[in-house]
Amino acid sequence: MGTGRRSLITAAVTVVCAVTVLAAPGTAFASPTPTPAPAPSATSTPATTKDLEAVRKKLDRLYHDAAVATDAYNSAEEKAEQQSAEIVALAKKIVQGRKKVDELKKRAGAAAAAQYRNGGLPDEAHLMLSDDPQEFLDGAGRVIQGERATKGLLGELTRTQQDLEQYAKDASAQWTKLEANRKAKAKAKAKVKKQIAAAEKLESELEAEEKERLAELERQAAQQAQTAWLDSGILDEIDGKASAQGKKAVAYATAQLGKPYEWGAEGPGTFDCSGLTSQAWAAAGVPIPRTSQEQWKQLRRIDTADMRPGDLIIYNDDASHVAMYVGDGAIVHAPRPGRTVTVAGAGSMPILAVVRPDV
């Protein structure tokens, strides 16, 4: 997994209500009737744009860290599945090897029994006692064949037993790795839940009007980044046409529009970012790595100017997010918890690289 991590923003602003309660005065001695205390009042101080901008950045950080942890979870899950499959394959080899050893032992036992039926004398001895020249020559050939067969039998038995020992060692090693990845998976899962819970708590403390303003700030930030990207003139250079497989991948991804984001999910009802891209390319007949970081590491990188629909854009300096380019400067992606699969500007987030799953 990627190691680039940014520290959490230390100055997070939490929007709270400032409640002022006026203390009731004591009994007025100058009047037989106490002066009524003024009724307590509560006033809400709305968050300023600066406050909400700090909240937006805090939320970005929390969801970013959740995305990194999600990638770690997905990677550990993928490795665990591979190791489980390897253990199953090794177990089958061990069963087959044991059957083979049993068969070889039976053949060795049959050979020993045949020798016993010949009076306990080896074939060489019977050959020496023969006074028939033809029988001698025939027997000599049988002796040579028998020796070769015996050596071959013993050699095969030895190799099979050695293979069994190696299979057992390999299975033990894979089991150790499997346990380690299960622990890594559990740790990543706990971190994902913690980061998402913190983000949801922060959002829940906002008033409805503040949430709307926050959403508008998010749109403005994305639009500013997209505008800056387009102003570079990059779209004038991008004119690649989708391959046949790329068209299938785009068709699958865009068919998921509106479906909720769910960390660790790869369909059919919910997706995380790399779950969407990996399933889209699987539907196109091209299996690719499950996580955004492995997609970045293993797939062929291309220049942004050579980008074509179906290519994947990797975002952030730690490759924590991935989207699919669909053309005309747009992407389809699963953004984060609380959002759905949507279309956005390709330059609305910091681009790390562009990778191509097919040739």
Please answer whether residues 12 and 78 qualify as being in contact, where contact means their C-beta atoms are separated by less than 8 angstroms. Answer: no
Would you state the torsion angle of the CA atoms of residues 27, 29, 32, 37, taken in this order, to the nearest 10 degrees?
-30
Selecting among 17, 64, 126, 321, the annotated active-site residue is 321
126 in active site: no
Q: Give catalytic status of residue 333 as yes or no.
A: yes
Handedness of CA 286, 289, 291, 293 (dihedral sign): negative
- Eight-class DSSP state of 36: P
Alpha helices (runs of H) in the chain, residue ranges in sequence order: 49-117, 123-128, 133-204, 208-231, 234-237, 244-254, 273-283, 292-298
Q: Is 273 a catalytic residue?
A: yes
- What's the gap between Cα 136 and its chain centre? 71
76 contacts: CB under 8 Å, gap ≥ 6: 181, 182, 184, 185, 188
**271 touches 327 (CB < 8 A):** no
17, 64, 126, 333: which is the annotated catalytic residue? 333
User: What is the secondary structure of 260-316 as a DSSP string?
Assistant: BB-TT-BSSS-B-HHHHHHHHHHHTT----SSHHHHHHHSEEE-GGG--TT-EEEET
- Distance CA(212)–CA(180), nearest Å, equals 44
- Return the closest-CA partner of residue 247 out of 302, 298, 286: 286
CB 83 within 8 A of CB 181: yes
The first and second tokens of residue 141, run together, are 């050939």
Report, as residue numbers or ranges, the catalytic residues: 273, 321, 333
